[in-house]
Structure 1
């Protein structure tokens, strides 16, 4: 089995397990993704949020419309662009975010069961390093260094 297959399959299984255990939160996986990503990126514009979620801006706009109707998100004026509005989480979303994080913590514990106590920290460190290697910042630096040699 390859690294890519293991990473992909593990992520899929964690999403499935989250869906099973988080049904009581009253959110779809897509809505949960919006809330979780927005929580990590408060003040972000919808187009940038769509990029992070890897969905089309119009798809996100429709999703946010529904979430706004449900009381999960509010749109506020962008102080730097009067035409734009920034999505923000409501208190209802913040409350469910904490409950969702608790579900996720349980799933992480289940996934790491039987591994040494420091395995999570090491895994996070290695994956963060891999992400940095593949990110645009690192790629740009590597390309510039290769061009100079």
Structure 2
């Protein structure tokens, strides 16, 4: 194993940035910001979550996520529905328009992942995922309050 000055964390960061740049370039036709896309994807995974839950999940300030949701509501991507068990809580739901766009964006993301993994064997990729999972587990053991929002 290399010494602690290994640049693997920088490589992880660079790969993440390159994924984002490539995705943003391909997704420009959807006219959504990254924050809006992340919100749509998160709501799709947990339909009915509250705005506060979304803010916590995305590690964003409530006021910032409120603006994102306001724009998505105005663009007819998201609906706020009253929670029948708590009048103060609003549940977030995707519209049919949002489902169409998120379906298209998932196809785009899958194509990007496929291209990014070209030339990598399934065995190597499986080992990579195990290593990432172990690094994540190690970091959570150090500070369990740093639970990732993308889990």
TM-score by length of 2: 0.81
Aligned length: 139
Query: Residue 139 of structure 2 aligns with which residue?
Result: 134
Query: Residue 106 of structure 1 aligns with which residue?
Result: 111
Q: What secondary structure, in the 3-state scheme, does the structure 2 residue paired with 1:7 have?
A: helix
Choose which of 62, 71, 75 in structure 1 pairs with 2:67: 62
Choose which of 118, 124, 132 in structure 1 pairs with 2:129: 124
Query: Residue 145 of structure 1 aligns with which residue?
Result: none
Higher RCO, Cα 8 Å, sep 6+? 2
TM-score by length of 1: 0.82
Query: Residue 148 of structure 2 aligns with which residue?
Result: none
Poorly superposed stretches of 4+, deviation over 2 Å: 117-136
Q: What secondary structure, in the 3-state scheme, does the structure 2 residue paired with 1:22 have?
A: helix
**Between Structure 1 and Structure 2, which shows a larger proportion of helix residues?**
1
Structure 1's unaligned 5+ residue stretches are 141-149
Structure 2's unaligned 5+ residue stretches are 1-5, 146-151
Query: Residue 84 of structure 2 aligns with which residue?
Result: 79
CA displacement, residues 78-121 of structure 1 (integer Å, 9 cap, x when unaligned) = 23321110111111111111110111111111111111134444
